Amino acid sequence: MARPADDSKILQSFRFSGRTGGTVKSLRGFKKSHHSVPDAVNAATSGFLAKLAADELAEEAERIFQQARTLLHYKRKDLTLDLGAGTAVLSAKDFVFEISYGLLESDPSDYVTNRSLHSLKRADFLFTPECDTLFSGLFNEVVFVLVKGAPVERVIDAIEDLDTTDSLLRVNYPSDYQNCIITVPGVEAEVRFDGRELAIVFPRTATPRQLWESFLAVREAFGLTKDEILTGLIVSR
């Protein structure tokens, strides 16, 4: 797919994200002799997790900082790293990268590490080998925050009303219509819509470039329908 020439503005509404996790007791800061595994998610246990994960967080953040500085030939004023309680924010000339640790709501004995890339200044950056090297294996989802949004029911109706001989778009949804999952030909991912955000979720990690190209494929598929509801989501910007 050709590189986009005029999509830098639309990138401001994007974030690339991914998550990993493990058991709280596997963190280096956890001491079996005097620490207990959390059984609830609250301010105290979240603070406890931040202390336990401090070494892992600082180590990863510093590694990304040094890699970005070397690969992209950044000078000191081109990037900064801020470490907080359970969070790290790398602000660079071309992007912002964040790492955060949190307890898993459904099982507080486990933690999740969320990583996100956002505030990209230019689309061409996504097509560089440096970007591939720096962020390879970190993300499996691209989230597009809509400017106006639309009721989920209207998007469902728009897809179901398409002539199935001309469009291969398909949609599934729960009975409360809180969200829907759209199948797009040629895109090996779930396209989830909740009225405010459109998320393209892959079964495995991909580079930001691959995720971006999948978004462009979704945008093209929506545009080909010539339906005002669908094209208005991510085509008419």
Co-location of 53 and 88 in the same domain? yes
**Is residue 41 included in any domain, yes or no?**
yes
Which of 135, 166, 193 is at the close of a domain?
135
Co-location of 210 and 126 in the same domain? no
Co-location of 85 and 200 in the same domain? no
Could you list the residue range(s) of the whole structural domain that residue 183 is in? Answer: 140-237
Co-location of 199 and 220 in the same domain? yes
Co-location of 38 and 147 in the same domain? no
Co-location of 119 and 12 in the same domain? yes
Co-location of 48 and 163 in the same domain? no
Co-location of 59 and 97 in the same domain? yes
Co-location of 80 and 99 in the same domain? yes
Which of 100, 135, 170 is at the close of a domain?
135
Show the low-confidence residues of the chain (pLDDT under 50): 1-5, 236-237
- What is the pLDDT, as a whole number, of residue 167? 72
- What is the pLDDT, as a whole number, of residue 148? 74
Which of 116, 135, 154 is at the close of a domain?
135
Co-location of 182 and 110 in the same domain? no
**Is residue 1 included in any domain, yes or no?**
no
**Is residue 215 included in any domain, yes or no?**
yes
**Is residue 3 included in any domain, yes or no?**
no
**Is residue 162 included in any domain, yes or no?**
yes
Co-location of 147 and 219 in the same domain? yes
- What is the pLDDT, as a whole number, of residue 4? 44
**Is residue 202 included in any domain, yes or no?**
yes
Distance CA 34, CA 50 (A): 17
- What is the pLDDT, as a whole number, of residue 109? 96
Structurally, how many domains does the chain consist of?
2
Co-location of 121 and 159 in the same domain? no
Starting from the edge strand earliest in sequence, which strands make up the sheet with 87-92, in order?
A: 79-83, 87-92, 96-103, 110-118, 14-23, 139-145, 197-206, 190-193, 180-183, 170-172
